[in-house]
Amino acid sequence: MRKYSLLVVSFFVFSYSCSRCSSNIQSTVTGSGGDTIRIIKSGLQFPWEILWGLDSHIWMTERGGKISKVDPVSGNSVFSASIAEVVSNNEGGLLGMAQHPGFLTNGLFYVVYNYNSGGNYREKLVQMKFENNAIQPVATLLQDIPASSIHNGSRLWITNETTPKLFMTTGDASNQPNAQNLNSVSGKVLCFNLDGSIPADNPIAGSPVWSFGHRNQQGLVVANGIMYASEHGPNIEDEVNIIEMNRNYGWPTVNGPCNLPAELSFCTANNVKEPIWSSGSSTIAVCGMDYYNNSRIPAWQNSLLMLTLKDASLRVLKLSPDGMSVIDQRTFFKNRFGRLRDICISPAGRVYLCTSNGSNGDVLVEISNP
């Protein structure tokens, strides 16, 4: 395993372009504290999800079907297994993962993956159990979700509430009108109880649909009671949205803000919720996202950390004190590691990134501040 530390100050690339930010953008210098980076694991093949587990290990999915439990210090996989049913097809495969709040005692966790059913490519949400150093499926919460070689989402997030909810993003699976079809689970944010039942207060009785009009969301995080999702735009207007129950996010009619004549009428008629950030006239392919508020890297406090594939960078989106808008945007590590897929943060404030370059050359990177 390659292991090294480098001063990264010289690699920090700043960007102040922020078409959607307010005019009072702060522009203080970051990265002056001697942050270090360390490749903790290499030889990966399209890692898709990395999460900081309740057992203080990094749990990781790889798109081909592998789940690993990684020691964040040594980088060793202390457990790994593959889900045989997973069928990886371009953007499809084993995707998002989340741990049950009681994982340390019940071993339960959730995964989303693509599979073949009767000759059709599909997606399913499965509850699994980690026990006696093995994993096994416990329950299928939702299956036969339309899937495609592109636009399958999917991230999972479990809220920190008295009665936690499981949220899941789905892509439009190449069928754009489905994003506006409330009878379809494509192009949505879905909401479940942890046993897979439908919460009684979901907007449509008996349906997991929570919000709609989404294209392909591959980042999801809840912070300070606010749910944020990153969403790929077509060739313009990647988005970061605040997800609210029963709201329409516009796809496929609306890209980014409601600023074109055809969009304005649709937005008015459908009460479309506009993004709090969008990429404007090009795309950077926004993906995994987490919320940072640790004193280890003070300049990143109260920020969304969002990875990009095409732009091959980490975007630090500084939030307003109320969390409802983006007030500053900076770009780090551009082209240093290649395409970046997902991110997690340890309680000590270390940030972990995984790449999405393929050819068994993907890595897990630790960013810390000694």
Q: Which stretch binds Ca ion (CB under 5 A): 40-48, 78-86, 90-98, 242-250?
A: 242-250
- Work out how close the CB of 275 gets to Ca ion at its nearest, in angstroms, rounded to a whole number: 6
What are the distances in angstroms from CA 74 to CA 2, 112, 238, 354, 366? Answer: 11, 28, 36, 16, 11
Torsion of CA 238, 366, 92, 315, to 10 degrees: 0
Nearer to Ca ion, 167 or 249 (CB): 249
Nearest distance from C-beta of residue 227 to Ca ion, angstroms: 15
Compare residues 120 and 259 and give the one whose CB is closer to Ca ion: 259
Q: How far apart are CA 51 and CA 331, in angstroms?
A: 22
> Which CB atom, from 213 or from 349, has the smaller least distance to Ca ion?
213
| Residue 240 one-letter amino acid | V
- By CB under 5 A, tell whether 250 contacts Ca ion: yes
31, 256, 288, 349: residue in contact with Ca ion (rule CB under 5 A):
256
- Nearest approach, Cβ of residue 166 and Ca ion (Å): 23
Give pairs for 208-212: CB < 8 Å, separation 24+: 208/142, 208/168, 209/182, 209/185, 210/167, 210/243, 210/245, 210/246, 211/243, 211/244, 211/245, 211/246, 211/247, 211/248, 211/249, 212/179, 212/180, 212/182, 212/187, 212/188, 212/247, 212/248, 212/249
Cβ pair 202, 209 in contact under 8 A: yes
Residue 169 binding Ca ion, by CB under 5 A: no
Cα separation, 158 vs 292, in Å, equals: 17
Supply the minimum distance, in Å, between the C-beta of residue 326 and Ca ion: 15
E strand or H helix at 48, and its extent? strand 47-52
CB of 255 to Ca ion, least distance (A): 5
CB of 203 to Ca ion, least distance (A): 18
Of residues 39 and 306, the one with the C-beta less far from Ca ion: 306
**Which of the ranges 27-35, 36-44, 187-195, 244-252 carries the binding residues for Ca ion, by CB under 5 A?**
244-252
**Cβ proximity to Ca ion, 216 vs 356, nearer residue:** 216
Handedness of CA 332, 334, 338, 340 (dihedral sign): positive
Q: Smaller CB distance to Ca ion: residue 80 or 265? A: 265
**Binding track, positions 263-282, relative to Ca ion; x by CB under 5 A:** x-------------------
Handedness of CA 47, 49, 51, 57 (dihedral sign): negative
- 177 and 195 Cβ atoms separated by less than 8 Å: no
**Residues 294 and 348 sit within 8 Å (Cβ to Cβ):** yes
Candidates 200-208, 261-269, 291-299, 335-343; binding stretch for Ca ion (CB under 5 A):
261-269
Nearer to Ca ion, 158 or 272 (CB): 272
Residue 204 CB neighbour total at 10 angstroms: 13
Name, in order, each residue with C-beta under 8 angstroms of 143's C-beta and a sequence gap of 6 or more.
Answer: 117, 122, 123, 124, 125
- Name the minimum Å distance from CB 212 to Ca ion: 10
Total chain residues near Ca ion (CB under 5 A): 6
Which amino acid appears at position 54 of this protein?
L
Comparing CB distances to Ca ion, the nearer of 263 and 311 is: 263
Interface residue with Ca ion, options 255, 270, 283, 303 (CB under 5 A)? 255
Q: What is the CB neighbour count within 10 angstroms for residue 259?
A: 13
- Which candidate, 295, 291, 290, places its Cα nearest to that of 349? 295
Please identify, using beta-carbon distances, which residue of 184 and 255 lies nearer to Ca ion: 255
Q: How far is the CB of 246 from Ca ion (least distance, A)?
A: 15
Q: Does residue 259 touch Ca ion according to CB under 5 A?
A: yes
Least distance CB 8 / Ca ion (angstroms) = 33
Q: Which is nearer to Ca ion, 75 or 256 (CB)?
A: 256
| Residues in contact with Ca ion, shown as a per-residue x/- string from 21 to 60 under the rule CB under 5 A | ----------------------------------------
Quote the CA–CA distance of 127 and 98 in Å, as a whole number: 10
- Binding to Ca ion (CB under 5 A): which residues in 289-348? none
The binding site for Ca ion (CB under 5 A) comprises 249-250, 255-256, 259, 263
